[in-house]
Structure 1
Amino acid sequence: MNVIRPLLASFVLLSAITGVLYPLAVTGIGKLAFNDKVNGSLIEKDGKLLGSSLIGQNFSDPKYFWGRPSASGTFAYNGMASGGSNQGPTNPALKTAIEDRIKALREADPGNTKAVPVDLVTASGSGLDPHISPAAAQFQLQRVSKLRGLKAEQVQILLSQYTEAPQFGIFGEARVNVLELNLALDKMKT
């Protein structure tokens, strides 16, 4: 009994510290310093949840910019089944998927003969990537501006505003958040 009592006391104390106090402290600090991020970077309009700027959305209407394909679970952009397709370059299923995606892009914009950027036809490692490259956005610019009745220059200005630089100017690459760009497009007047 002399040995068990201190062990139980240590167990209860450490459980309270690591299981309750520490998580509460970290969450509290996070809410104070990064409230938007701690709450999932959710985007709402008129009290309606539109999505998260951290998770890709499934845009298939040609008047919107399309994001990276998703390979997550049974439906696209499934946050509960994040993961890549795990298909290697010699896998015939990957080749077929890429060909189908290129075909869909060409059908949505038949006059576009530019090379299709790789991020429009391949999924990211998470399958949830909310960003595309500026090249992928440029590839779609003419289609989107034409279908929305906007001048390409107007959409280009908006695209420039929503292009994020590499983090701290050196980490990663420039990127465009597809959901934020499409929501800004919806606000534009034709």
Structure 2
Amino acid sequence: MKNQNFPAILLSLCCLVFFCGIYTAAVWAVAQVAPNQGKGKIIFYGGNSQQYGFANIGQAFTVDKYFWSRPSAVNYNAAGSGGSNKGAGNPEYLLQVQARIDTFLLHNPAVKRDQIPTELVTASGSGLDPHLSPGAAHIQVERIAKIRGIPKERLNTLLHKYTHRPWFGVFGIETVNVLELNIALDQMK
């Protein structure tokens, strides 16, 4: 037993030095060559170049003239990211999802209940997801077109333009960043 103590202590010290020092420094160094030095993608909007938000953190959009984002269990607070931790059968969770469905149907009367994408009524695991699938954004086009007086074809073209494709056509899925899409929507004439 005594001859195992020294290797265990040595391994612990090596891991401590590697993971607390070398690995951390390597990740920081890689972040420095990334866009924005690893601070995320910052969106500037308007003529005065004021920071509008972070494209990699979800934002609350609930006004009818905008594309709605995915609900957040943490109210889009990046300091406390996380899901609701309630199971799919939890009565409180089911009431919350039902309220979101009712609200969505009230604001989108042309949509049937079974057409609502799950992501529009359930929060992501982090509660900060800034993306929707193109289908979840497309289902909102009719509401926005009616309120803004913009033809649906123009909105569909805008949606197609802001749809991010998988890397190299293989890695990932198609997504739409809701903040970028809503800024572009405001800039339409």
Structure 1-normalised TM-score? 0.81
- In structure 1, the partner of 2:9 is none
Taking only aligned residues, the RMSD between alpha carbons, in angstroms, comes to 2.3
- The structural deviation recorded for 1:24 is 6.1
Q: Structure 1, residues 147-178: CA drift from partner, whole Å, max 9, x if none?
A: 11100000000000111112332233211100
- In structure 2, the partner of 1:167 is 167
- In structure 2, the partner of 1:8 is none
- SS of match in other structure, 1:69: coil
Q: How many matched pairs?
A: 171
Aligned partner letter, 1:161: K
Which one of the candidate residues 44, 58, 63 is aligned to 1:56? 58
| CA distance 1:22–1:120, shift in 2 (3 Å) | closer
Which structure 2 residues correspond to residues 49-128 of structure 1 after superposition, within 5 A? 49-72=51-74, 76-113=75-112, 115-128=115-128
- In structure 2, the partner of 1:130 is 130
Aligned partner letter, 2:88: P
- The structural deviation recorded for 1:146 is 1.3
- SS of match in other structure, 2:139: helix
Structure 2-normalised TM-score? 0.81
Give % identity: 45
- The structural deviation recorded for 1:22 is 7.3
CA distance in 2, matches of 1:105, 1:155: 19
CA distance in 1, matches of 2:23, 2:118: 43
- The structural deviation recorded for 1:56 is 0.4
- SS of match in other structure, 2:43: strand
- SS of match in other structure, 1:176: strand
| CA distance 1:168–1:63, shift in 2 (3 Å) | same
| CA distance 1:90–1:31, shift in 2 (3 Å) | same
- In structure 2, the partner of 1:5 is none
- SS of match in other structure, 1:44: strand
- The structural deviation recorded for 1:104 is 1.0
| CA distance 1:26–1:88, shift in 2 (3 Å) | closer
Out of 178-187 and 47-56, give the one that drifted further.
Answer: 47-56
Gaps of 5+ in 2: 1-12
Runs of 4+ in 1 over 4 A off after TM superposition: 21-26
CA distance in 1, matches of 2:37, 2:109: 39
Q: Structure 1, residues 96-129: CA drift from partner, whole Å, max 9, x if none?
A: 1111101111111223336110000011110000
Q: Structure 1, residues 21-41: CA drift from partner, whole Å, max 9, x if none?
A: 876665454333x22361321
